[in-house]
Amino acid sequence: MSDIAAFQYLRREDDDFHEMKDRELEEWLNLTMKPYVTTPWASTSTSGARVYTALVSQSSSTPSFTATVDRWRFVGQDVEWNFEYGFTSAGTAGSPVLIRTPFAIADSHTTAACGQVLFYDASPATRYNLMAERNLSNVIALGADGGTGDLFGQSPSIAIASGDVVRGYVRWRYR
């Protein structure tokens, strides 16, 4: 085989190799990088949306509130939920603040639902930055940073009262 023929043979092999690698990369990208399907934000006021009754509890108390924001959307297999509730009645001090989610939380570990929650205590005016964590399959609890391991409401011992506000953004695996 002449040098030119050998060179052409090697070049053809190299081109075939690169085409094969390009096809493999394209297949891998199609399998792993599929775009998430994101639905528009929905709420109980959205036509055809799932009926959901928001509920906040603190011990045996279920404080009354007005939902300023209460909406969700699906992002792939996850649910994003954004809420803001202004309270008009009291809860029970020393008990955790629990919030019902609009959809079940698929995973069973406490970090299955993650998000940032702000609790504003109107008297005295104090803001608490909290982390949402799964408490039950459709309930989140609020964890305070650097606390004793107790949930927010237990430590610090706080009772929901009229004028308080809780707002948050939480995301979890639904399916």
| Residues 91 and 61: beta-carbon distance below 8 Å | yes
| Residues 134 and 107: beta-carbon distance below 8 Å | yes
> What is the per-residue pLDDT for 106?
85
> What is the per-residue pLDDT for 64?
94
> What is the per-residue pLDDT for 30?
58
Q: How far is CA 89 from the centre of its chain?
A: 27
> What is the per-residue pLDDT for 74?
86
Of 92, 90, 35, 105, give the one whose Cα is nearest residue 59: 92
Q: Give the other-Cβ count within 10 Å of 58's Cβ.
A: 23
pTM for the model: 0.74
> What is the per-residue pLDDT for 153?
93
| Residues 142 and 96: beta-carbon distance below 8 Å | yes
| Residues 166 and 84: beta-carbon distance below 8 Å | yes
Site of tokens 């690169």: 18
| Burial class of residue 129 in the structure, from the number of CB atoms within 10 Å of its CB (0-12 exposed, 13-18 middle, 19+ buried) | exposed
Site of tokens 């964890």: 143
Q: Which CATH class is domain 42-173?
A: mainly beta
Q: What is the pLDDT along the chain (175 residues), one digit of tens a residue?
A: 666 666 566 667 666 666 766 676 666 555 554 555 677 888 766 666 666 778 999 988 899 999 988 888 888 888 889 999 999 999 999 999 999 998 888 887 766 778 999 999 999 999 999 999 888 888 999 988 766 778 999 988 999 999 999 999 999 888 6
Going 146 to 147 to 149 to 151, the CA torsion angle's sign is: negative
